[in-house]
Amino acid sequence: MYFGQGYAFNNPDLFLKFVGMKKIALIIGIVLSLIGFIQGVRYFFDYNTLTQYGKGYVWGSILLFLIGILLIYIGLRKKKTSP
């Protein structure tokens, strides 16, 4: 082990247990939704004047935004506990 490197960061399985999949999904979801929103909002209001390529770009941004929202939902979802 080198100076400054912990065992948890060298072992991917232990790293995922350390950080938690929900936190990773939440972080990635926030990043993806921000990127999708920022990319799509610029051209969304001029949708009728766009070419087919431009419309595909807007739809790709919407899809990226929705995937980000889904990952945020997964990251914030709580486990069901039985009474």
- The 10s digit of each residue's pLDDT in 8-17 is 455 555 555 6
Residue 8 lies in a domain: no
Residue-range definition of the domain harbouring residue 63? 20-76
pLDDT value of position 40: 85
Residue 69 has pLDDT above 90, yes or no: yes
Residue 31 lies in a domain: yes
- Contact between 29 and 68 (Cβ < 8 Å): yes
pLDDT value of position 81: 61
Tally of domains within the chain: 1
Residue 9 lies in a domain: no
Residue 15 lies in a domain: no
- Provide the 3-class DSSP secondary structure of residue 47: helix
pLDDT in tens, 7-63: 545 555 555 565 577 888 889 999 999 999 998 888 878 888 989 998 899 999 999
- Provide the 3-class DSSP secondary structure of residue 9: helix
How many Å apart are CA 36 and CA 55, to the nearest integer?
14
Residue 66 lies in a domain: yes
